[in-house]
Amino acid sequence: MTASGINEATLRRLRPDFLWGAATAAYQVEGAVAEDGRGTSIWDTFSHTPGRTLNGDTGDLAADHYHRYPEDIELMASHGMGAYRFSIAWPRIVPDGAGAVNQRGLDHYSRLVDALLDRGVEPMATLFHWDLPQALEERGGWYARDTAHRFADYAEIVLAALGDRVPKWLTLNEPWTVVGQGYSRGVHAPGHRDYHTAGTAIHHLLLGHGEALARFRAIEAEGAEMGITLSMALPRPWSRRPADVAAARLLDGEQNRVYLDPLFRGSYPPDLAELFPTLFDDAIVRPGDLTVISEPIDYLGVNYYLNHLVAADPAVPVLGARQIHPEGPMMSAGIAAVPEGIRECLVRIRDEYRDLPLYVTEMGASLHDYVDPTGRVRDTARIDYLRTTVESISNAVADGVDVRGLYVWSLLDNLEWELGYSIRFGLFFVDYGTQRRIPKDSARWYRSLISEHAELTRDRADRGPSW
């Protein structure tokens, strides 16, 4: 057994160049919302609207990563991390969503990328992690087809500036969360609560993805690759009753298949026609759209948090289904911590969709961490969660799935959207009053895991890749 508590054979199974990283998103960590010409995003508007976020928390200051990124990169490097997944704030680049480009925004990310490369940390950039320019929301947001075209324009600007130095790109982060929380359930920005029209937002997000991918292919950034990150859920029926089985199937459609099917099969799942009628409306899904959306990606990013049982419940509007949080310890966000489920998600993609390279672009545990009187953050539950995560990824590799990296959510404690700063996901504790970063026990554990893996796979790395 190794110091990380993961047995050697399990760690050896992961490729020598397996990427060990951490992830963040612009609005959750950057702060500096009024600096260097940044425009307003829907999350500025939403978080400043009374009653929308817990305690009225906003991303105005967040973890001040906009200014403190050199220190944060140093933390990654000194903890052995070889990769950083961050997102680019669209309103920093095109403040009004269309038209004038803000060079100061591009310069910021250019400096960030150079600083990462200097420290040997590979950048992975997400183009859209939910901070839509407010100006585009006022023109219909993702209900409007034009937003997809504007997204592609913005992507092209960023790719032209950074495509030579950023080897890994993601178009969208978790379109399910954007739509499920922001358009259907109304708990995220922009706060719409309408399943009936949510399909339109799904389609335009995916169209934006496809058009951005086409621009990327046209640029031919050498050595760079592009994918998309989906959040995969594991909804299972509460019982074998046909009504529960059908309810779980519906949630699987709403959370997984409605994104996977168009991306990999070029069609929307017919069983979702009642839930998302506009996905079957020719005025919304126009000829050729699904061809654009299903153009092959270089890899898929998978985020995994949700594992729940589903029971039919006619009292629940629209879905007629209730989620029951199951077995296992609960994390503080009310999310059941069942990290083993990642194996099933990864295998499913290979078996039901396509055998392509996969990156786990987020997995993490939310806890009520605190600094104890000795100055330590003893987040044992997060270490257990991450240990099981790594073992489960290795099991998927044993099943023959091509998994190439893990980006822990999150590098730093940050703004957990509508839950504000009430819960913490970071490997590094952020004392928000002083912005001091304190490595949690999990950060030290991650460092030892990364060095054990390097040690165990050194021979194979010296012989060169065998894949």
**For residues 362 and 379, which CB has a smaller minimum distance to ligand IFM in the complex?**
362
Is 274 labeled as catalytic in the residue annotation?
Answer: no
**For residues 303 and 323, which CB has a smaller minimum distance to ligand IFM in the complex?**
303
- Counting residues that bind ligand IFM (by CB under 6 A) gives 8
Residue 133 Cβ vs ligand IFM, minimum distance, rounded to whole Å = 18
**For residues 292 and 331, which CB has a smaller minimum distance to ligand IFM in the complex?**
331
**For residues 157 and 178, which CB has a smaller minimum distance to ligand IFM in the complex?**
178
Helical axes 103-118 vs 145-162, angle rounded to 10°: 50
Count of CA atoms in the C-beta half-sphere (13 A) of 227: 20
Beta strands 299-312 and 321-324 are antiparallel
Catalytic residue among 30, 211, 254, 362: 362
Is 222 labeled as catalytic in the residue annotation?
Answer: no
Residue 26 Cβ vs ligand IFM, minimum distance, rounded to whole Å = 10
**For residues 29 and 312, which CB has a smaller minimum distance to ligand IFM in the complex?**
29
Asked if residue 232 lies in contact with residue 256, where contact means CB atoms within 8 angstroms, the answer is: yes
Residue 419 Cβ vs ligand IFM, minimum distance, rounded to whole Å = 8
Q: DSSP labels for 279-296?
A: GG-TTTS-TTHHHHHTSP
Asked if residue 447 lies in contact with residue 18, where contact means CB atoms within 8 angstroms, the answer is: no
Among 416, 428, 430, 437, binds ligand IFM (CB under 6 A): 416
**For residues 87 and 102, which CB has a smaller minimum distance to ligand IFM in the complex?**
87
Catalytic residue among 137, 156, 174, 211: 174
> Any bridge partners for residue 360, and if so which?
302, 406
What tokens does 209 get?
């993805």
What tokens does 216 get?
């990327």
Classify burial at 74, counting beta carbons within 10 Å of its beta carbon; exposed 0-12, middle 13-18, buried 19 or more: middle
End-to-end CA distance of the chain: 27
Query: What whole-number distance in Å separates Cα of residue 77 and Cα of residue 63?
Result: 19
Query: What whole-number distance in Å separates Cα of residue 328 and Cα of residue 306?
Result: 12
Per CB under 6 A, which of residues 341..380 are in contact with ligand IFM?
Answer: 362
**For residues 362 and 391, which CB has a smaller minimum distance to ligand IFM in the complex?**
362
- The answer to whether 25 contacts ligand IFM (rule: CB under 6 A) is yes
- The answer to whether 303 contacts ligand IFM (rule: CB under 6 A) is yes
- The answer to whether 413 contacts ligand IFM (rule: CB under 6 A) is no
Binding track over 247-286 against ligand IFM, x by CB under 6 A: ----------------------------------------
- The answer to whether 131 contacts ligand IFM (rule: CB under 6 A) is no
Closest alpha carbon to 349 in 290, 303, 388: 303
Among 128, 359, 409, 445, binds ligand IFM (CB under 6 A): 409
What tokens does 30 get?
């950057």
Residue 303 Cβ vs ligand IFM, minimum distance, rounded to whole Å = 5
- The answer to whether 152 contacts ligand IFM (rule: CB under 6 A) is no
> Any bridge partners for residue 260, and if so which?
none
- The answer to whether 29 contacts ligand IFM (rule: CB under 6 A) is no
Residue 307 makes CB contacts below 8 A (sequence gap 6+) with: 233, 234, 236, 326, 328, 336, 338, 341
- The answer to whether 174 contacts ligand IFM (rule: CB under 6 A) is yes
CB-based closest residue to ligand IFM: 25
What tokens does 95 get?
């403040």
Residue 138 makes CB contacts below 8 A (sequence gap 6+) with: none
Residues with a known catalytic role? 174, 362
Residues at the site binding ligand IFM, with contacts judged by CB under 6 A: 25, 28, 174, 303, 305, 362, 409, 416
